[in-house]
Amino acid sequence: MAAVAQSATIAVYSVKGGVGKTTIAANLAWCSAELSGHPTLLWDLDAAGGSGFLYGLEPHKGRQAGEIFSQDRSPEKLIRKTAWDTLDVLPADESIRALDAQLTAIGKRRRLAKLIESLATWYERVILDCPPVMNELSAQVIRAADLIIVPLPPSPLSARAFELVVREVTDNAKRHPPILPVLSMLDMRRTLHRQAREENPAWPVIPYASAVEQCAVQQRPVGAIAPQSLAAQRFIMLWRAIEHKLAQRG
Ligand SMILES: Nc1ncnc2c1ncn2[C@@H]1O[C@H](COP(=O)(O)OP(=O)(O)OP(=O)(O)O)[C@@H](O)[C@H]1O
Ligand SMILES: [Mg+2]
């Protein structure tokens, strides 16, 4: 059998809503599958179901996604294919709304991590699209992740959210995963945004762009709908930075 790359779990997470988590998770999953050729799973942990939507997938009828966590249903049963051979999606459904309470009741602190480990036979990269919460679900995400991407549109509230995430991550794991902040929805016409860029020159950037908005309209990633765009190039740069960080793992 051919050697497979060391598997890795990448969480796209913030306590703040509407910062671009789903957009970044969906586009990074495409980069992982298409650019790096990794068998990749995009796992939607937000009941809103945005990641599935961005790939044109309807939510499951019924309440099935939560049953994976109670081990009444195996994840493979719910995994859906996309138009790209190496990219699959595990969509959310209504049951995910109760996932935090469900995980608390189950009481296994590494249930999500174990489920992801069981998928490592098939997937070299698992990308988690997380809801904007700070609870047992996010604690499990932190324990499962090899790298945490935190999207930050330039604003004082995002900066505060970033501090909260850093504190949560460091509190939840002794050897916590690295955190990679990303300046998201960056609009260089705006003073505050230019300042944020100048203050954090090393942070990867995702520009505010109509090509990115189009992802939700066309239900395909930027790399597929506007491969020459600046946004597509920036997602590639972000993906390379992620792979570089993962390669440095001990
Ligand atoms: N770089 C960008 N340029 C333009 N629009 C963007 C960009 N990133 C995200 N958006 C748009 O902003 C909105 C919020 O993005 P997204 O759903 O990815 O955020 P989120 O953090 O996942 O939100 P939630 O916390 O509700 O899950 C969406 O309409 C999306 O299309
Ligand atoms: Mg989202």
The pLDDT value recorded for residue 59 is 79
Residue 120 burial (10 A CB sphere; 0-12, 13-18, 19+):
middle
| Other CB atoms within 10 Å distance of the CB of residue 211 | 18
Q: Which of 28-42, 85-99, 161-175, 204-218 has the lowest mean pLDDT?
A: 161-175
Mean pLDDT, range 12-29, rounded to an integer: 97
Query: Ligand 1 within 6 A of 185 CB?
Result: yes
Cα separations in angstroms, 12 against 23, 46, 67, 96, 108:
10, 11, 23, 17, 22
Q: Provide the CB-side half-sphere exposure for 75 (13 A, CA).
A: 24
- The ligand minimizing its distance to the Cα of 16 is 1
Query: Ligand 1 within 6 A of 242 CB?
Result: no
The pLDDT value recorded for residue 182 is 97
8 Å CB contact between 4 and 124: yes
- The ligand minimizing its distance to the Cα of 216 is 1
Cα separations in angstroms, 17 against 22, 80, 90, 133, 250:
10, 26, 21, 9, 33
Hey, whose CA ends up nearest to atom 3 of ligand 1?
208
Residue from 213, 212, 208 nearest 190 by CA = 208
Packing angle between helix 111-119 and helix 136-144, nearest 10 degrees? 40
Residue from 1, 14, 19 nearest 164 by CA = 14
Query: Ligand 1 within 6 A of 187 CB?
Result: no
Mean pLDDT, range 149-163, rounded to an integer: 92
| pLDDT at 224 > cutoff 50 | yes
Mean pLDDT, range 102-125, rounded to an integer: 96
DSSP character for 31?
A: I
| pLDDT at 174 > cutoff 80 | no
- The ligand minimizing its distance to the Cα of 14 is 1
- Return d(Cα 169, Cα 83) in angstroms, integer: 34
Domains and their CATH numbers in the chain:
8-247 (3.40.50.300)
8 Å CB contact between 198 and 7: no
β-partners of residue 223 are none
| pLDDT at 2 > cutoff 90 | no
Mean pLDDT, range 226-243, rounded to an integer: 98
For residue 207, which atom of ligand 1 is closest to its CA?
Answer: 1
Give, for ligand 1, the residue of 45, 53, 213 to mutate: max count of ligand atoms closer than 8 Å to Cβ. Answer: 213
Provide the terminal-to-terminal Cα distance of the chain, rounded to the nearest Å. Answer: 24
8 Å CB contact between 147 and 178: yes
Q: In which band, very low, low, confident or very high, does the pLDDT at 227 lie, cut at 50, 70 and 90?
A: very high
The pTM assigned to this predicted structure is: 0.96
Query: pLDDT > 90: what percent of the chain?
Result: 88
- The ligand minimizing its distance to the Cα of 230 is 1
8 Å CB contact between 75 and 119: yes
The pLDDT value recorded for residue 206 is 98
- Cα of 20 vs centre of ligand 2, distance in Å, is 7
Give, for ligand 1, the residue of 21, 22, 23, 186 to mutate: max count of ligand atoms closer than 8 Å to Cβ. Answer: 23
Hey, whose CA ends up nearest to atom 11 of ligand 1?
213
**Exposure string for 42-60, b = 16+ CB within 10 A, e = fewer:** bbbbbbbbbbbbbbebebb
8 Å CB contact between 226 and 216: no
Query: Ligand 1 within 6 A of 138 CB?
Result: no
Query: Ligand 1 within 6 A of 193 CB?
Result: no
- Return d(Cα 121, Cα 130) in angstroms, integer: 23
8 Å CB contact between 13 and 149: yes
Q: In which band, very low, low, confident or very high, does the pLDDT at 1 lie, cut at 50, 70 and 90?
A: very low
